[in-house]
Amino acid sequence: MPEQREGNAVEQFVAKHADHVIGTLSGFDRLVFRGTLRMLVHRGSLPSYLFHVGVLLKNFGEHAQSLTAQLKDASTALAKRMARPVLYLNSPGSSKEDIARAIAEADGIQRGLICILTAVEPCLSDELVRDRANRRLELEPRHRKCLFLYHYQIHPRFGFMHARIQTWFPFAVQVCINGRTWLARSMDAAGLHYEQRDNCFTWLQQPDRAQRMRLIRKVPNTHRYQVTEAGRMILTALMAASNANTQQLAKIPA
């Protein structure tokens, strides 16, 4: 039996139902951007950071707790000003998206912050350990648990989205965007009509034009992707925001 080419099943389906297919649309369902502070994330970089801010290894725990408290206060300040809920979830298995959507519907949120959900989840961080053989303290990467903050909002361009913030070193940030919602908002701005059920498009007024709105496209015959000009503008803004946050963390007093 001849080996099937990638995408052959889709091509066969389109050919079989050609009379009922108005076009095809390829793109991403979910987009996840992960940001880390390079000065903290590489092995051996944390001691250099502590030396830079004048903190002894034995005081790492106290220093880390201080930064965690500052991060949580700063992160939840907007929710407090806007009177939006900050909810702790006892079970990390709870559907955070369902909870956030229910809150948005109940409170009639059309734009801006919906809520902040917090949960204790596994993470990779550094832990202070004692090297008894050499009689010294060391920082070693360990799997542990810490509090994560989930900021859910309805963005004017991206729609429903969230950011996941780790509140312990190295303070990793993860931003999740729904690619279909992003495309729907782009079509709204361009005046293109469409029908959508859940996270699928069942009808598009101009499929070819919608396809050209992709922000990331696959390079033919490879497993690599290229960022389009529209996507590059968005990523530039995200990197600028990440750099600003890095500078703010660097300015936190020891």
pLDDT for 239: 45
Tokens 């409170």 locate to 107
Name the nearest CA neighbour of 201 among 228, 220, 216, 179: 179
Decide: 57 and 50 in contact? Cβ < 8 Å.
yes
Identify the burial level of 81 via C-beta atoms within 10 angstroms of its C-beta, where 0-12 means exposed, 13-18 middle and 19 or more buried.
exposed
Inform me whether the pLDDT recorded for 187 exceeds 80.
Answer: yes
- Segments in 82-156 forming alpha helices (H): 96-107
Identify the burial level of 194 via C-beta atoms within 10 angstroms of its C-beta, where 0-12 means exposed, 13-18 middle and 19 or more buried.
middle
Question: Who wins on pLDDT, 222 or 48?
Answer: 48
Quick check: pTM over 0.85? no
The domain limits of the chain are: 29-250
Please write the tens of the pLDDT for every residue from 221-254: 544 444 455 555 544 444 444 444 434 444 444 3
The fraction of the chain above a pLDDT of 70, given in percent, is: 79
Tokens 């859940």 locate to 198
Integer CA distances (angstroms), 250 to 20, 37, 165, in order: 58, 10, 17
